[in-house]
Amino acid sequence: MEVDAAMEASGAEGADSLLGRVEAGDPAVQCQWAQGPGPQVTLKVRIDSSRAAVGLKSEVRVYLRQPSELTVTIPVTWAGK
């Protein structure tokens, strides 16, 4: 079983966001991202429950290049099946 979560982000007052890279803190956490729609960035986080330990606590680090260089850390937890 896989569990997905998605988010969208944009800069202040609709400024374009440009994502540099995304890193997951655990191999059971997989990330896909894309520019868009419009000035936003869309991030999809997937947890592979066959690889995730019960009580998993990890994070996803999102490295933005625009509108300013910034790292956003998103906590990820998985309680289990």
When the pLDDT of each residue in the chain is averaged and rounded to a whole number, the result is 81
Portion of the chain with pLDDT greater than 70, in percent: 77
Q: What is the mean predicted confidence (pLDDT) over 21-43?
A: 86
| Rounded-to-integer distance, Cα 32 and Cα 16, Å | 19
In this predicted structure, the answer to whether residue 2 has a pLDDT above a threshold of 60 is no
This prediction's pTM: 0.77
Domains of the chain in start order, with CATH, are: 2-78 (2.60.40.10)
pLDDT digits (tens, 9 = 90+) for 48-76: 888 888 889 999 998 887 767 888 898 99
Number of Cβ within 10 Å of residue 12's Cβ equals 8
